[in-house]
Amino acid sequence: MPRIVAFFACSVVCVASSLPAHAEERAGVVEQIDAESGTVMLADGTRYLLPQTLDSATVHRGMEVHLLIAS
């Protein structure tokens, strides 16, 4: 399962240069959050591992998000 390296829930994004050079960008709407496994599922059915530093309580169903995925 792909691991998220940056998680944004806003329209304006400033990205630090310390992110991996081969990160992919994804966007979608949160359909499901599993705090126990630390995963999020988007409306298109794709699942991602949340960063360990992200409190899953801040993620809500229906939230539009932009992700940087480590490849």
- For 4-14, write each residue's pLDDT tens digit: 655 655 544 44
Tokens of 48: 């991602």
Tokens of 22: 């081969």
Give the single-character DSSP code of 55.
Answer: -
- For 7-60, write each residue's pLDDT tens digit: 655 544 444 445 556 778 888 999 999 989 989 999 999 998 888 888 888 888
Cβ-count burial 28-61 (b if 16+ within 10 Å, e if not)? bebbebeeeebbbbbeeeeebebeeeeeeeebee
pTM: 0.70
